Chains A and B, each alone.
Chain A
Amino acid sequence: MLKDKLNAVLKIDRRWIFLALTVVLFGAIIHPLGLLSKNIARDTQNAYEFMDKIPAGSFILLDLDYDPSTAPELSPQAMAVARHAFRNNLRVGVVTYSAGATGLIEQLFAVVPGEFKKEYGKDYVILPYQPNAVAVMTQMASDLYGIYDKDKDGKDTRSMPVMKGIQNYKNISLVVCIAGTSITDIWVAYVGDKYNVPFIAGVTAISQPGYGPYLQKKQMRGLLGGMKGAAEYEHLIKTPGKGSSGIDALSLAHVMVAALIIVSNIAMVILKYL
């Protein structure tokens, strides 16, 4: 009898699991639990502190390379970092090497700069999509305008106040790359290491463990990992956003996965000895 029941539990129709996950996710979205990380990850804290120490008026390069598939994790990170930069009166140049990111960048910068009364061309600029990241990164080491002489709308970038005094990496205080691709490795290898440019990254939770070697050797000054990284950064800049609201759903889904794995293995062990 028990054996039959346990077998039924192990062979449950996967659609019941889909339904349970849907209920858990919707429940957390409709009724947020307000859970917040008690401990901020060391890498997120380092990223925040490095950015916070950059003097006002400095120029940072923000590379946003995510498309809608990874946007739920990475867009809150990008928003939090952009808000931090504008709050500290940093000048921001935005680049992308992912064609799918262009629309998301425009959506993001249609909202965030307005919160801080920042003007396009004076406080920030969005540079056009480029298909070949390695060529562009190498070019920017000598003369940024060799590639980015025009912004996304074809306006001359040299005459923009935001670009004043910016020629190459020597004039850039920090590169932040928020990406769902392996472009982060290219920044480290071709720019961070070679030209000694400080570098911070934001990546999806699934790819986060792979960046440990860069963090250990300080090739990365900090790292935001997935929605948790976004929520932590939002907490640090004291501006809750989609990272903080999404962390409840993520929490419950994670615990559900853990519970399912434990239940299925306990059932398996009992079956073995019955």
Chain B
Amino acid sequence: MKLIKKTIPLAIVFVFGILTLLTYYVPHKHSVDFLETMNKWENIVTAFAFFLGLISLFYAHSTKISRKADGWGYSLFVFVGFLAIIIPAYISKGKNMNGAELTWMGWAFQYIYNPLSATMFAVLAFYIVSTAYKSFRIKSLQAFVLFVAAMFLILGNVPLGQIIWDKMLGWTGYNISQVVDWIMHVPAVAGKRGIMIGISIGAVVTALKIIFGIERQYLGKD
């Protein structure tokens, strides 16, 4: 049992992990062919993962509905939403447009998915504005630095802000675009680069731990 549940999966991960890693550095035909095959396999596995995700989603929400758990009514909309897109998609054979005309799927996309998705994001703007007013309090040096940087970026990112800057601080001789450019290309880049290097080192270490079988959580608990 240990052979099937642990040894073989670990061996597969080790062999394919090392081979795929090598393809990055070996520009030989066999290496390219191997990578092409892996890419196709990866696409197929990803497609299966979609199905698995769908089954898991349906299972979780149908359980919630059958148990009448808190907010079970919202779970109904998972199925309503799914059917509202999948039925038109099936009728339209997956096409959004038929020539210049919208198909059923195109209609569902444009008049259901599109406005709902856009509304969700647009509502955020209102919460950001009210939260900025109610919560952005300068109570420390760090908050002050954040405030100054935010003001420069807010003003520098829109034409009206540029006009206000020119009227009020034009005498300094500095253009708001120059200030924003400096913020974006010096302190922001330094911070971002530090974060990126940290994340990348973490990713490399995790990948090596998985390839060499040190990290085994993906195998499950058995």
Q: Which residues of A does B touch, CB under 8 Å?
A: 10, 12, 14, 17-18, 21, 33, 35-39, 41-42, 67-72, 100, 102-104, 106-107, 110, 130-132, 134-136, 138-139, 142-143, 146-147, 153, 194, 205, 208-210, 212-213, 215-216, 225-226, 228, 247-248, 250-258, 260-261, 263-265, 268
Neighbour of B125 across the interface among A39, A106, A209, A253, CB < 8 A: A253
Q: Which 5 A-B pairs have the closest CB atoms?
A: A251-B160, A212-B189, A69-B121, A103-B109, A68-B117
Q: How far is the CA of A138 from the CA of B162 in the complex (A)?
A: 43
Residue interface mask B165-189, A partner, CB < 8 A = 1: 0000000000101000100110011
**Interface band, chain B:** 35 or more
Contact A261 B133 (CB under 8 A): yes
Contact yes or no, B133 A146, CB < 8 A: no
User: Chain B nearest CB: distance from A120 CB in Å?
Assistant: 11
When C-beta atoms are compared, the residue in chain B nearest to A208 turns out to be B184
Most buried by B among A104, A106, A216, A248: A106
Q: Is B57 an interface residue (CB 8 A)?
A: no
Q: What residues of chain B lie closer than 8 Å to A102, measured between beta carbons?
A: 96, 109
CB-CB under 8 A from B126, the residues of chain A are 17-18, 21
| Complex contact A216–B189 (CB within 8 A) | yes
| Cross-chain contact of A254 among B47, B109, B154 (Cβ < 8 A) | B154
Task: Select which of B97, B115, B129, B184 is within 8 A of A257 by beta carbon.
Answer: B129
CB pair B181–A42 under 8 Å, yes or no, is yes
- CB contacts (< 8 Å) of B32 on chain A: these are 142
The answer to whether B125 and A258 have CB atoms under 8 Å apart is no
Residues from chain A with Cβ under 8 Å of B39 in the complex: 132, 135-136, 138-139, 146-147
Would you call A132 and B118 a contact (CB within 8 A)?
A: no
CB atoms of B160 and A254 under 8 A apart: yes
Q: Is residue B151 contacting chain A, with contact meaning CB distance below 8 A?
A: yes
Known contacts A14-B134, A68-B117, A103-B114; is A39 also within 8 Å of B162 by CB?
yes
B→A interface (CB under 8 Å): 24, 32, 35-36, 38-40, 42-43, 46-47, 50, 95-97, 100, 105-106, 109-110, 113-118, 120-122, 125-126, 128-130, 132-134, 136-138, 147, 150-151, 154-155, 157-164, 175, 177, 181, 184-185, 188-189, 192-193, 196
- Residues of A near B43 (CB, < 8 A) are 130-132, 135-136, 147
Taking CB atoms, residues of chain B closer than 8 Å to A70 are 121
- The chain A residue sitting closest to B181, CB to CB, is A42
Q: What's the nearest-Cβ distance from chain B to residue A8, in Å?
A: 13
B159 touches A210 (CB 8 A): no
Residues on B with beta carbons closer than 8 Å to the beta carbon of A263: 133
B117→A261 contact, CB < 8 A: no
**A26 shortest CB reach to chain B, Å:** 13
Report B18 CB to chain A, min CB distance, Å: 17
> Cα distance A106–B115 when bound, in Å?
17
C-alpha spacing A213/B118, complex, angstroms: 30
B192 A213 Cβ-Cβ under 8 A: yes
Contact assessment for A228 and B42 in the assembled complex, using a CB-CB cutoff below 8 Å: no
Assembled-state Cα–Cα distance A36/B159 (Å): 6
Which residues of the partner chain B approach A42 to less than 8 Å between Cβ atoms? 181
Partner of B158, one of A69, A147, A212, A247: A247
In the bound complex, CA of A194 to CA of B125 (Å): 38
Residues in B whose Cβ lies below 8 Å from that of A35: 158-160, 163
- Nearest B-chain residue to A35, judged by Cβ: B159
Is B151 touching A37 in the complex (CB atoms < 8 A)? no
- Which A residues are in CB contact (< 8 Å) with B35? 138-139, 142
Q: Is there contact, CB below 8 Å, between B113 and A103? A: yes
Please tell me which one of the listed residues A69, A194, A215 contacts residue B120 in the complex, with CB atoms under 8 A apart: A69
Q: How far in angstroms is the closest Cβ of chain B from A195?
A: 11
Residues of chain A lying within 8 A (CB to CB) of residue B177? 39, 41
Do A260 and B132 touch across chains, with their CB atoms under 8 A apart? Answer: yes
CA gap between A132 and B43 in the complex, in Å: 6
Contact between A228 and B158, CB atoms less than 8 A apart: yes
Nearest CB in chain A: distance from B154 CB, A: 5
Q: In the complex the two chains form, is A68's CB within 8 Å of B114's CB?
A: yes
Contact A110 B97 (CB under 8 A): yes
Write 19 A-B pairs (CB below 8 A) sorted by A numbering.
A12-B133, A17-B130, A18-B130, A70-B121, A102-B96, A103-B110, A107-B110, A110-B100, A132-B39, A132-B46, A135-B40, A209-B192, A213-B189, A213-B196, A247-B158, A264-B134, A264-B136, A264-B137, A268-B137
